[in-house]
A and B are shown apart, each in its own frame.
Chain A
Amino acid sequence: NAGVTQTPKFRVLKTGQSMTLLCAQDMNHEYMYWYRQDPGMGLRLIHYSVGEGTTAKGEVPDGYNVSRLKKQNFLLGLESAAPSQTSVYFCASRRGTRSSYNEQFFGPGTRLTVL
């Protein structure tokens, strides 16, 4: 199993450009998450999904949109990139609410720079 994969690994954008980050998991997990990680700020949840076709806002959703059209994929979109969105983005997935399956599995991250 590949686990959780993210595309691309690195990207540089100019202010105002748009892009989509792709997260894919092959573990048949129900829940998926997008986080951003900034120095000294820890992980901050952007959006999450509890199943195919569902999405919900996290702690810092402004400037981002998401879609979960297929269970295995969770897309994060930036419609008009801003320098404040320079960050490392991590996707994670989780199987469900039963205790044994509660841990998250993280992708390798996407390093985004907005100039």
Chain B
Amino acid sequence: AQSVSQHNHHVILSEAASLELGCNYSYGGTVNLFWYVQYPGQHLQLLLKYFSGDPLVKGIKGFEAEFIKSKFSFNLRKPSVQWSDTAEYFCACLTGGSYIPTFGRGTSLIVHP
């Protein structure tokens, strides 16, 4: 069965620091990859997604992610975080034709002002 690993469970940064959250998936075929963000007390919202083409994907609020097929990775990056980026971040993988996305366990990001 496919799996998604998010190695950083808790990340604490100061404002203006750079961010990179790791995501690795286990499926070897065609995949669609997603990063969702959940702000405190809210529901999950899509940050960005990859399904084909340019492996560097830009999302909302200055986030980007790079799909590296050889490493089965889809790491999320932001050059300079803000206090408002404090949230839980989930990586998800959907294989071609599948009904069910596989989610990682999430990374809790706290940004100190």
Contacts known (A102-B51, A102-B94); A48 close to B105, Cβ less than 8 A: no
In whole angstroms, what is the CA distance A56 to B100 when docked? 11
A61 CB within 8 Å of chain B: no
Q: Which residue of B lies closest to A33 (CB)?
A: B100
In whole angstroms, what is the CA distance A12 to B101 when docked? 30
B68 CB within 8 Å of chain A: no
Cross-chain contact A90 with B43 (CB below 8 angstroms):
yes
Binds B, one of A68-76, A77-85, A103-111: A103-111
Q: Which of A45, A103, A109 contacts B43 (CB 8 A)?
A: A109
Contact partners of B94 in chain A: CB under 8 A: 102
B34 CB within 8 Å of chain A: yes
A22 CB within 8 Å of chain B: no
In whole angstroms, what is the CA distance A105 to B104 when docked? 17
Cross-chain contact A42 with B51 (CB below 8 angstroms):
no
Q: Which of A48, A99, A107 contacts B100 (CB 8 A)?
A: A48
